Structure formats: C-alpha cells, structure tokens
Amino acid sequence: MRNLQSRLLPTLAIVLALLLTGTLCFADSELPPFGPDSVPAQPDYAQDASWLAKASSIQHPVDVFWVYPTVLHDSEHWLMDFTLPEMQQASHNTITKQASVFLDQANLFAPYYRQMNMAALTLPEADQDALKKYGVNDIWQAFTYYMQNLNQGRPFILAGHSQGSKVLLELMLKHWGALGYENKMIAGYFLGWSITHGDLKANPALKMCENASQINCFISYNTVAEGRQKVAPSIRQDAIVTNPLTWTTDDAFAPASLNLGAKFFNADGTTTEVAHFSSAQGKDSGLVVQPIQPEFVNSSPPPFPAGVYHVYDFSIFYENLKQNAARRIKAMGNGK
C-alpha cells in the first residue's frame, strides 16, 4: 500500500493543483467535480484480476497485446473503475467485436486500465491530459510487466482502437527505439486514431507499414464518408492513412472487390458477413469508404457525427485485417 501511495501522490498533487488553480474546466460537464476521490485504485498487473485477458495456455507462437477503446461513457466516473462488472463486460465486448481478428493466430493479453470517460473529448487538451495520464501510466506498467513476465521471447502484435490506440501511440512516441525488443514486434495496429508525419518526425524509430507483409511497423486509419474528415474527432491534421485493402499509405483508390468481407455483430449475438462491402481511399487524413449497404454503418452513436464510421473501423475490413495479421506473422517467421 505504501508503494501504491508513493506512486499516486505526485499525480494526485498535480491534479489537485490544477483544480485549485481552476485549470480543469469540468464545470460544464454532467459528471461530478474531479478530485483525488475520483481516482480508482491502480491495477496490479501481478494479479490476474487486473487483466481483461491473460492467456492461460500458450497455443500460438506469437502474442497480441490488446488495448481496448473507450467503453466508459456514464455520468458518474471520469476514470474507469475496472472492478465494476459493467465495465468488465463492456471491455470484453471489444474482444468479440475487434480483437477477435487476431485470436485464431495469437495468444491474447489485454490489461484493464483507468481510461478516461468519453465526455473528456469535450474538454480542453490540457484537461484531457490530466485525465489521460492515468491510463497511459497503467498501460505502460502493464506492457512492461507483460514483456518481463509473460511474453517469454515470443513475437508480438500491438493492437488497439480509439483511446486504446491513442494511449499506445503516446507510449511508442516516448519509448519506441529504446526498448531493446522492437525487432520482436510484428506490427502495431493502431486503428481509430491518427499517426501523423509530425509523430514520425518526433520519433524517427516509428515506421509506417508500406506493404502487406512488412514487419516492425505501424498501421493507422479512421473510416469516414466522403467529406466527413474534419468532423471526425479521431482524425488529426496531416495523418498518414493506411489503406487496409492495399496496405499502402498512398492515396490510390482501392475497389470493393478487394474487400474480403465485413463482419457486423448484432445485438442478439449473431453476426452478419458482407463480402466486398466497401472500397477505400486515403484522402485528407481519413480513410474514405463507400459501403454498398450503408444501413450497417449509419448508426454510429454520439459523439460521432453522421458519416463518421469510427465504431466500425474493424468491422468494415474484418477479413482483410484477419488475413493481413496472418501474413505479417508468416513474414516474421520467415525473417522478412
């Protein structure tokens, strides 16, 4: 407990100082005021209870380290309390709908973390940072624990979506190139967030994947309808867009014939698969898609405007993602 307090106190002091100076602009939110009592207990990754998924038996020669997207959007908590059953279930749903593209070929490791509430998207950047750092610290602790105690030298995939990708990118910008095991990463699938030219300049060790079998590189895209790039909250200016139909970062149009199949997860537990669901083209920092059955993607919940297909970044290209992971895993085994 003393060690936990020593880790938390500096962070709490900063947050409290911000509160006292009025820097945190939380007053307009429906959530309660943020203070030290708003911070849930930090996960202890030596305990199984702090893991959403921790492979109990090793069935594959490679791993996937999954960081789930934003699942906290209630009106009570600024930060996710991973001990709450409803938060655990919501986190597990992301494995079914997203991380499942990797599960036939990789052992799954997925930590819980104190992510920030979706309402934080409406806050000024400085206030978001005051909340975000809890999750960033948690994932860094989890990834460090995973590499030191669970990975056992296997190649691994880094994967996330939305806030999960944002947290992973922040950590890679700070640490990638100095870890000593960069050559063990097959690829980083950072979907639902943007990797920009500025990011690559800030850390030249980060490389974007430029073809379907390249390894030790990163992938990023955000799906939108034509002309909706500027209203998508996850699209950053000057983003580099990976086209999941060609696995290049150019702006060439890729026809729907290359789409191996979309997969949508219905409320009743069934799934719907649609072959050749959409074309894709990188344009103005977003991935522009033209679904043949738009009714499947026109139900994005708030805060995503019409034409922002954020929650379907995995679904629209489900089979292409699955095939590509297999291809990169094979390339890693061949040393290519």
244 has pLDDT over 60 = yes
Q: Which residue has the tokens 């030191």?
A: 148
Between strands 63-67 and 185-191, the pairing is: unpaired
Q: Which amino acid is at 11?
A: T
pLDDT at residue number 36? 80
Between strands 107-111 and 280-283, the pairing is: unpaired
- Using pLDDT thresholds of 50, 70 and 90, give the confidence band for residue 20: very low
d(CA 191, CA 280): 15
Mean pLDDT (whole number) for 117-141: 91
Encode pLDDT of 281-302 as tens digits. Answer: 999 999 999 999 999 998 756 6
pLDDT at residue number 122? 81
Token pair belonging to 23:
């820097």
pLDDT at residue number 121? 81
3-state DSSP assignment of residue 286: strand
pLDDT at residue number 37? 81
Whole-prediction pTM value? Answer: 0.90
What is the DSSP code (8-state) at residue 230?
A: G
Closest CA to 124 of 195, 240, 18, 13: 18
What is the DSSP code (8-state) at residue 48?
A: G
d(CA 97, CA 328): 21
Token pair belonging to 31:
């959530």
pLDDT at residue number 176? 98
pLDDT at residue number 124? 87
Encode pLDDT of 80-109 as tens digits. Answer: 999 999 999 999 999 999 999 999 999 999
3 has pLDDT over 70 = no
d(CA 102, CA 55): 13
Alpha helices in the chain (DSSP H): 2-21, 85-97, 125-145, 163-175, 197-202, 318-334
132 has pLDDT over 70 = yes
Encode pLDDT of 160-177 as tens digits. Answer: 999 999 999 999 999 999
The most confident of 118-122, 129-133, 189-193, by mean pLDDT:
189-193
- Using pLDDT thresholds of 50, 70 and 90, give the confidence band for residue 65: very high
pLDDT at residue number 246? 98
